[in-house]
Amino acid sequence: MSLHINNISKSFKDLKAVKHISLEVKENELFGLIGPDGAGKTTLFRILASLLLPDEGSANVAGFDVIKDYKKLRKNIGYMPGKFSLYQDLTVEENLNFFATIFDTNIEENYDLIKDIYIQIEPFKKRKAGDLSGGMKQKLALSCALIHKPKVLFLDEPTTGVDPVSRKEFWDMLKKLQKKDITIFVSTPYMDEAALCDRIAFINQGEILQVDTPSAIVKNFAKEVINIRTNSIYKSLQVLGKYQYTHSNYPFGESLHYMDSRDDFDPNEIKKHLEDEGIEDVEVQLITPEIEDIFMELSRE
């Protein structure tokens, strides 16, 4: 096991940020912690990176206890916080050199590991980090987190606020890194990124709701999800909001996803109800649930 988290809790005054979390992450796994802002993701990251003491529980990262062995642990992990935290008034090259020196290494030694990423920002190596665009800052931060060839890489919301194209590129980079013998523990509020992980944990309000591979989570989901298209999603939402058998009812892009409160029902009944209420062009279809459907359902419970 690369990460072993046992019953970790942490509170800040009255707020229970992390509640009895236990998790295991295998070696060289790409593990995703999926949950919205305020779920407790960053608190957990800080505990695992030995920057914050848990109130209870224990955790072991790459063979080191987060409390007792914190000095050794820090040499063996890379941590990229959600907030850009490199030196804004050092250049790209100076930042990278600085982090390499701190970890008793130099850029040449592990260049192979960061090459694919660093090469994209190398043309700007004399530019101050503070003057880089968001995407370039992210690449520099990742290079700095990797320069000492860590065994475990912690990435706290690396793609928040990043456009879909750059997000895709970032995940392609992670897939490549994973092959170089690095365990990656990454958090994201984007549900569509869950499918790119080997395994995921849903986290909400400090608690882990479910842990499994994305495909198993989808396969084991018990409720049926109906995709509904109509001439007016807004009106359909209002109609279904008042329908007696509605369990949940959410807009999904150009359609609606509907779950029924009954165990057994005919989707055509929903269609008829919508049509009776004056909605036109109604199409209903049973679909494979999306990760976001499941997250929303689990966080209701």
Partner 1 sequence: METTIKATNLTKSFGDFTAVDKLNFEVEKGEIFGFLGANGAGKTTAMKMLIGISKPSAGDAVVAGYQVSNQAELVKKNIGYMSQKFALYDDLNIKENIQFFGGIYGLDSKSIEVKYNRVVENLGLQDYAKQLVRSLPLGWKQKLAFSVALLHQPKIVFLDEPTGGVDPVTRRQFWELIYEAANQGTTIFVTTHYMDEAEYCDRISIMVEGEIKALDTPKVLKKEFGVSSLNDVFLKLAR
Judged by CB under 8 A, the residue of 233, 267, 269, 271 near partner 1 is: 233
CB contact at 8 A, 209 and 33: no
Instruction: For partner 1, give the closer residue by CB, 111 or 250.
Output: 250
Judged by CB under 8 A, the residue of 93, 156, 157, 260 near partner 1 is: 157
The reply to whether 16 sits near partner 1 by the rule CB under 8 A is no
- Nearest 5°: CA angle at 250, between 258 and 19? 105
The reply to whether 173 sits near partner 1 by the rule CB under 8 A is no
Number of residues lying near partner 1 (CB under 8 A): 35
Judged by CB under 8 A, the residue of 162, 195, 218, 287 near partner 1 is: 162
Q: Taking contact as CB under 8 A, which single stretch among the options 3-11, 19-27, 29-37, 45-53 is the one that binds partner 1?
A: 29-37
Q: Taking contact as CB under 8 A, which single stretch among the options 3-11, 17-25, 208-216, 288-296 is the one that binds partner 1?
A: 288-296
Residues 6+ apart with CB under 8 A from 221: 289, 293, 294, 297
The reply to whether 130 sits near partner 1 by the rule CB under 8 A is no
Q: How far lies 106's CA from each of 91, 136, 226, in Å?
A: 16, 21, 55
Query: What is the per-residue burial (b if ≥16 Cβ within 10 Å, else e) of 48-86?
Result: bbbebebeebebbbbebebeebeeebbebbbbbbbeeeb
Instruction: For partner 1, give the closer residue by CB, 44 or 77.
Output: 44
Q: What is the DSSP letter of 51?
A: S
Name the strands in the sheet holding 283-287, side by side, starting at the edge strand that comes first in the sequence: 246-252, 255-260, 225-229, 283-287
Judged by CB under 8 A, the residue of 253, 263, 264, 301 near partner 1 is: 253
Judged by CB under 8 A, the residue of 7, 106, 133, 220 near partner 1 is: 133
CB contact at 8 A, 297 and 281: no
Instruction: For partner 1, give the closer residue by CB, 58 or 246.
Output: 246
Instruction: For partner 1, give the closer residue by CB, 179 or 300.
Output: 300
Residue 125 sits at φ, ψ, to 5 deg, of -65, -20
From the list 54, 19, 7, the residue with the least C-alpha distance to 207 is 19
The reply to whether 165 sits near partner 1 by the rule CB under 8 A is yes
The reply to whether 123 sits near partner 1 by the rule CB under 8 A is no
* Contact mark string toward partner 1, 195..214, x via CB under 8 A: ---------x----------
Instruction: For partner 1, give the closer residue by CB, 39 or 49.
Output: 39
Residues 6+ apart with CB under 8 A from 277: 239
From the list 179, 221, 214, 177, the residue with the least C-alpha distance to 197 is 214
Judged by CB under 8 A, the residue of 234, 242, 244, 276 near partner 1 is: 234
Judged by CB under 8 A, the residue of 6, 252, 271, 277 near partner 1 is: 252
Q: How far apart are the C-alpha atoms of 45 and 17, rounded to whole Å? A: 12
Q: How far apart are the C-alpha atoms of 157 and 186, rounded to whole Å? A: 7
Judged by CB under 8 A, the residue of 57, 63, 189, 267 near partner 1 is: 189
The reply to whether 226 sits near partner 1 by the rule CB under 8 A is no
Residue 184 sits at φ, ψ, to 5 deg, of -120, 125
Bridge partner residues of 120 (DSSP): none
In the complex, least distance from residue 164 CB atom to partner 1, rounded to whole angstroms: 5
Residues interacting with partner 1, by CB under 8 A? Answer: 35-39, 133-135, 157, 160-168, 189-191, 204, 233-234, 237, 250-254, 292, 295-296, 299-300
